[in-house]
Structure 1
């Protein structure tokens, strides 16, 4: 490569290491995109899968799937956990979680009733839960991710039937309610008669964004090589001017 000046070892090492890091990050993002594709596929398959009894997950939640479960029991009256500042279809609102007491078990199932838009910036009024024995069914999935903890557990300081949370922590809700909760939550199936919106999708970064980040990292790798070449390219000597 006579058209390049001899680079320093530091410049070569910096370029090689930087390029390898950028390429590695690009392939990692592609791998994450494939994982999210598989997650969405399993999620979609679960929505139409045969219904299983709640007893099928007594020994633990299956790590690789989201079963459709059915359970019989009763809703706990006047106990709501409100996940605030949620968005759906361009609207800001809340997601409403309530405890459900299944038959033949001493554990409590936390149920996601769905999304409600705010009314004039205020939380909407909630319809009463149906009394008596109920048969419910939906997807059994991990709870929404725990966000940044600021100020610790806010539930003990709240009174009344409605308690606001900024994330769903099953341990804190179980302690507040005084019962052991199942390790996942149940996303109720859609019901045309319900005021709640139930259009369930995994709360994860979409695969397309991971692929966009991968393209960005690969671009950085190419840029590192181009910059190296430009900095070490031999410049042609200027021809003497003739008068």
Structure 2
């Protein structure tokens, strides 16, 4: 190409590596947008789905859907876990979990009782007692909330009194703490006007909705184009100046 000087191998490799990295990041953002949209559709479909018996999906939850289940059993008395970093928390408070033994089950089901708003202090909110006796629960059978970065290791084993507080919820640690195996997912209870807990079957993607992922993808793709354009501009041949006439 007469209009362009031959770039060095270093400049060429740097441009190719940068462009490929930006393209990869853009594709990853598009995948994240698709994942979130699919998850939102699953939640919307689950809220109107017919109830299933818990035993039918207990150990093999559907891979591409969220099951809405009914289960009968009883709570373990005075065994509650407080997750103090729920994503929808804007007022301070905790998400409350309690172990539940399904009738005829061979392991425990961790139940998400809902969000309990804070009281304006650093103290944990006052928890109501768990219902005694046989209970029939209904809700969505969901994966446990995502595990955060573990700082200081397992906090549950260092706590001697209930309820126990944690900033992330890992089912294997809860099972070890209770000394009994758990089912692979948790039950998020349906809303109950009589309960003091806030129960919302929704996902808070307000800080990073699918549209924002696509905007970031466009930005990364733009960077990839810019890297190539910069290479071309820096190696463009400048027109030679005519020699001065005397």
Task: Please report how far the alpha carbon of residue 118 of structure 1 lies from its aligned counterpart in structure 2 after TM superposition.
Answer: 1.3
What is the TM-score of this pair, normalised by structure 1?
A: 0.90
Q: Provide the rounded CA distance (Å) in 1 between the counterparts of 2:103 and 2:156.
A: 27
> 1:39 maps to what in 2?
39
Aligned partners of 1:149, 1:27: CA distance in 2, in Å? 29
| Aligned position for 2:116 | 116
Map 1:138-157 onto structure 2 (within 5 A): 138-157=139-158
* 8 Å contact from structure 1 (residues 144, 203) kept in 2: no
Distance 1:28 1:157, change over 3 A: closer
RMSD (CA atoms): 2.3
2:226 paired with 1:223: yes
**5 Å matches for 1:1-243?**
1-88=1-88, 90-122=90-122, 123-202=124-203, 206-237=209-240
1:91-137 CA-to-partner distances (Å, cap 9, x unmatched) read 22210000111111121110001112211133211111122111111
| Worse-matched range after superposition: 35-44 or 185-194 | 35-44
Question: For residues 46 and 172 of structure 2, what CA distance do their matches in structure 1 show?
Answer: 26
Aligned partners of 2:203 and 2:84: how far apart in 1? 18
Q: How far off is 1:173 after superposition?
A: 0.9
**Structure 2 residue runs without a partner (length 5+):** none
SS at match of 2:40: helix
1:84 CA displacement: 1.0
Aligned-partner SS, 2:26: helix
CA-CA distance at 1:198 after TM superposition: 1.2
Deviation of 1:79 (Å) = 1.3
- 8 Å CA contact 1:138–1:187 kept in 2: the answer is yes
The secondary structure found in structure 2 opposite 1:198 is coil
Shift of 1:203: 6.8
Q: Aligned residue pairs: how many? A: 243
Structure 2 length normalisation: TM-score?
0.89
Deviation at 1:217, TM superposition (A): 1.1
Distance 1:192 1:171, change over 3 A: same
Per-residue deviation, 1:228: 1.0
Does the aligned pair in 1 maintain the 2:96–2:114 contact within 8 Å?
A: yes
CA displacement 1:68-105 (0-9 Å, x = unmatched)? 01001111221110001335363222100001111111
Range that drifts further, 219-228 or 9-18: 9-18
Q: Give yes or no for contact 1:29–1:211 (8 Å, CA) kept in 2.
A: yes
- Contact kept, 8 Å, 1:86 with 1:92, in 2: the verdict is no
Q: Which moved more, 1:100-109 or 1:25-34?
A: 25-34
